[in-house]
Amino acid sequence: MTTNRTRPEPGAVERAAVIGAGTIGASWAALFLSKGLTVAVSDPDPAAEEAVRAAIAKAWPALERLGLAPGADPEAWSFHTDPRDAARGARFVQENAPERDDVKRALYTALEEVLDDEVVVASSTSGLIMSELQRGRRAPGRFVVGHPFNPPHLIPLVEVVGGRDTTAETIEWLTAFYRAVGKRPIRLNREVPGHLANRLQAALWREAVHAVATGLASVEDVDTAIAEGPGLRWAIMGPNMIFNLAGGAGGMPHFLDHIGPAMEGWWRDLGAPALTPEVRDQLTQGMEEALRSRSNAELARERDQLLMALIETLQQERERIRAGHDHS
């Protein structure tokens, strides 16, 4: 299909298609439903329909707590094994197929058969390069990466990055669309492996592994050093703003003068570990000690419960702070 209708206003999308309905696709579907959209879900595995139903039911109470759009309906979705049936008539597509170049390319060929050329197709890909995926497409400009953090229905961040042929309008539109469904999109100005947030995680974890590998601290203490320390602040503001505030009234310039030289010294001393069999053993053994016979299932429940409480508290307190500013 090539008809070129105009793009809907980003906040006026009524029907989205979620293609590939595993962990990430099912979570996107739940989020879009909570924002009042109708969602057409597709997955070649017929068993995915039940899994999506279960994922939506599990996510809904949290989405209710965070605020449903008027008319949001957890039943307003359909399931299709053929992606073309899901994409027909959709005004936005979020693609969450397995992380394989050939699979995603074949899927885009099928989608092109039924999608109007102006409909934006965002890929959740964690590591594939959009410039490659969009090459040779009929309307390459509408393909773009919209990389969420798991689970997309709860974690606000989504990274938007275009490939060589993605148009500026597509990036603009997708950013506005994600904002309209309550996400906090950021834009990357070029394609890099791992996008941005995973690179930041990788940088920190590199030093965490180095600390364990060199016997500086136990696995458990390394985790405490983040979770009970800077991690608490990072959930509120990023590392740049935190250091700006660390500069007191002098802000970032004072911080750079005061702490910058020491920081450069630490950078020069940071480790570059490899995941050798010995290091893997140290991490595995250290984790067994940190677990203290608690199960992963128990800890995952605790993580999800606390994550929900944190997101809800931050949302409510930010609203209260904003309301205070409005009245002052």
Ligand X SMILES: NC(=O)c1ccc[n+]([C@@H]2O[C@H](COP(=O)([O-])OP(=O)(O)OC[C@H]3O[C@@H](n4cnc5c(N)ncnc54)[C@H](O)[C@@H]3O)[C@@H](O)[C@H]2O)c1
Q: Which of residues 89-108 bind ligand X (CB under 6 A)?
A: 96-99, 103, 107
CB 284 within 8 A of CB 276: no
224 binds ligand X (CB under 6 A): no
Q: How far is CA 230 from CA 11, 14, 32, 204, 271, in A?
A: 36, 40, 32, 12, 20
19 binds ligand X (CB under 6 A): yes
x-marked contacts with ligand X along 238-277 as a string, rule CB under 6 A: ----------------------------------------
- Give the integer Cα–Cα distance in Å for 282 and 212: 7
Q: Which is nearer to ligand X, 28 or 177 (CB)?
A: 28
CA atoms within 13 Å, Cβ hemisphere of 318: 9
Stretch near ligand X under the rule CB under 6 A, chosen from 57-65, 144-152, 182-190, 284-292: 144-152
Least distance between ligand X and beta carbon 26 (Å): 8
CB 79 within 8 A of CB 52: yes
N-terminal to C-terminal alpha carbon distance within the chain:
54
Position of minimal CB gap to ligand X = 22
40 binds ligand X (CB under 6 A): no
Q: Which is nearer to ligand X, 98 or 238 (CB)?
A: 98
Least distance between ligand X and beta carbon 192 (Å): 15
What Rg, from alpha-carbon coordinates, does the chain have? 22
213 binds ligand X (CB under 6 A): no
- Give the integer Cα–Cα distance in Å for 230 and 227: 7
Work out which of 17, 24, 122, 161 binds ligand X, going by CB under 6 A: 24
141 binds ligand X (CB under 6 A): no
Least distance between ligand X and beta carbon 270 (Å): 26
8 binds ligand X (CB under 6 A): no
CB 20 within 8 A of CB 96: yes
Least distance between ligand X and beta carbon 225 (Å): 24
- Give the integer Cα–Cα distance in Å for 18 and 151: 15
Q: Which is nearer to ligand X, 101 or 169 (CB)?
A: 101
20 binds ligand X (CB under 6 A): yes
DSSP per-residue letters across 145-178: EEEE-SSTTT--EEEEEE-TT--HHHHHHHHHHH
Least distance between ligand X and beta carbon 18 (Å): 10
User: What sign results for the dihedral spanned by CA atoms 213, 214, 215, 219?
Assistant: negative
Q: Which is nearer to ligand X, 7 or 80 (CB)?
A: 80
14 binds ligand X (CB under 6 A): no
CB 109 within 8 A of CB 139: no
Least distance between ligand X and beta carbon 17 (Å): 11
CB 191 within 8 A of CB 163: yes
Angle, helices 219-227/277-291, rounded to nearest 10 degrees? 70
The verdict on whether omega for the bond into residue 74 sits within 30 degrees of 0, i.e. cis, is no
194 binds ligand X (CB under 6 A): no
Q: Which is nearer to ligand X, 108 or 255 (CB)?
A: 108
Q: Which is nearer to ligand X, 15 or 195 (CB)?
A: 195
- Cα 259–chain centre separation: 32
x-marked contacts with ligand X along 146-185 as a string, rule CB under 6 A: -xx-x-----------------------------------
Longest Cα–Cα distance of the chain, Å, equals 63
For tokens 């630490």, name the residue: 266
Which residues make up the interface to ligand X (CB under 6 A)? Answer: 19-25, 43-45, 48, 83, 96-99, 103, 107, 124-126, 147-148, 150
